[in-house]
C-alpha cells in the first residue's frame, strides 16, 4: 500500500500483484525484528498479529482510549495510530518488555493495590504510568491526571491507579 516512506531504510517488493509491502527492521523490547507489512499498518497490529505480542490492546483504534499504549524511545504513544513506516530505528517497549519478571516498580505497585478489574486497560495504563515516572519521578495529583487522562478505564479503577502510581514513585526512590 504505502510505498513512499521517505528516509526510511526498507526494501520494497510486490505482493498479490497490486500492492506494495515492505520489510521493516524494528527494535522491540531490545530485540531486532523483521516484519513484512504495508507501511501504513499501525504498530498495534504489527505487535499483535505479526509478532504475537498481544499484551498491547486494541480499544478504539483512533488514539482515544490508551489501551494500545507502548513506549517509543521512552515516550508513551498510542500504537493504534502509529504507522509502522514511521518507527524504524526507534526503540519500542511493550508491556511484555517492561521488565523481565513482571517486577517493574509500576507493576509491583499495581499488584500491591490490586488495581485491575477486568484488566483490559491495564497494560496501557502501566506503560503510560511508567513513562510518566521516568520523566517525572514524583508527580502531583494534577500531573498524574493530565498524563493519564488519555487512558480510559471502563471498569473505573482510576482511584486505585492514582494510588498505585504514588506507590511506584516511592518504590523508585
Partner 1 sequence: MTLIKTTYDRRSFIKVSTLSSGGMLLGFSWLASCKPDQVVNMPKEWFDINGFLKIADNGLVTIMSPNPEIGQNVKTSMPMIIAEELDVSWDQVTVEQAGFNIKKYTRQLAGGSQSIRQGWESLRMAGATARRMLMEAAAKQWDVPVAEVTTEEGVVKHGDKTIGYGEIAAVAATVTVPEEVELKDPKDFKIIGTPRKNVDGSKIVSGKPLFGLDTQREGMLIAMIEHPPAFGMKLKSLDSSSAKAMPGIHDVITINTSVPEGKEAQWSDTNAFNELVVVVGATTWQVMKAKKALKVSWEEESPPESTSDHIKSMYDLLGKNQKEPARLDGDPKKTFRNAAKVIERIYSAPFLAHNTLEPMNFFADVKEDQAELVGPVQTPEFMSKTASAVLGLPEEKISIMMTRMGGGFGRRLYGHFGIEAAIISQKVKAPVKLVYSREDDMTQGTYRPTYKVTYRAALDKNNNLIGFQVRGAGVHGSPVFANRFPAGAVDNYLAENHTLESNISTGAWRAPRSNFIAGAEQAFLDEVAEAAGKDPIEFRLELFERAINDPVGEDNDYDAKRYAGVLKLVREKSNWSQSTPGVYRGVSAYFCHNSYVAQVVDVVMKNNQPKVQKIWCAIDCGIVVNPEGARNQVEGGMVDGIGHAMYSEMTFKNGRPEQNNFDSYRLIRHREAPVEIETYFVDNGIDPTGLGEPSLPPIMGALANALAKATGERLYEQPFVGQAIELG
| Binding residues vs ligand FES (CB under 6 A) | 58-61, 63-68, 78, 80, 116-122, 153-155, 157
Nearer of residues 67 and 133 to ligand FES, judged by Cβ: 67
Segment contacting partner 1 by CB under 8 A, of 5-13, 85-93, 131-139, 160-168: 160-168
Q: Which does 68 bind (CB under 5 to 8 A by kind): ligand FES, partner 1, none?
A: ligand FES
Nearer of residues 26 and 67 to ligand FES, judged by Cβ: 67
Distance of closest approach, residue 77 Cβ to ligand FES, in angstroms: 9
Q: Which does 134 bind (CB under 5 to 8 A by kind): partner 1, ligand FES, none?
A: none
Distance of closest approach, residue 97 Cβ to ligand FES, in angstroms: 18
Segment contacting partner 1 by CB under 8 A, of 4-12, 71-79, 85-93, 156-164: 156-164
Distance of closest approach, residue 152 Cβ to partner 1, in angstroms: 5
**Phi, psi for 172 (deg, rounded to 5):** -75, -15
How far apart, in whole angstroms, are the C-alpha atoms of residue 20 and residue 38?
Answer: 7
Amino acid at each position: 500500500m504505502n510505498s513512499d516512506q521517505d528516509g526510511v531504510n526498507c526494501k520494497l517488493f510486490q505482493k498479490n500483484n497490486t500492492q506494495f509491502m515492505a520489510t521493516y527492521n524494528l527494535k522491540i523490547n531490545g530485540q531486532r525484528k523483521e516484519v513484512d507489512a504495508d507501511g501504513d499498518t499501525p504498530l498495534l497490529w504489527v505487535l499483535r498479529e505479526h509478532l504475537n505480542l498481544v499484551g498491547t490492546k486494541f480499544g478504539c483504534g483512533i488514539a482515544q482510549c490508551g489501551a494500545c499504549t507502548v513506549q517509543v524511545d521512552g515516550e508513551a504513544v498510542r500504537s493504534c495510530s502509529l504507522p509502522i513506516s514511521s518507527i524504524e530505528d526507534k526503540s519500542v517497549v511493550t508491556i511484555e518488555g517492561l521488565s523481565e519478571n513482571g517486577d517493574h516498580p509500576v507493576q509491583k505497585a499495581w499488584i500491591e493495590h490490586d488495581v485491575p478489574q477486568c484488566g483490559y486497560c491495564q497494560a496501557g495504563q502501566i506503560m503510560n504510568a511508567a513513562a510518566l515516572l521516568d520523566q517525572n519521578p514524583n508527580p502531583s495529583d494534577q500531573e498524574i491526571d493530565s498524563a493519564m487522562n488519555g487512558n480510559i478505564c471502563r471498569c473505573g479503577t482510576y482511584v486505585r491507579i492514582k494510588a498505585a502510581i504514588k506507590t511506584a514513585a516511592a518504590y523508585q526512590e
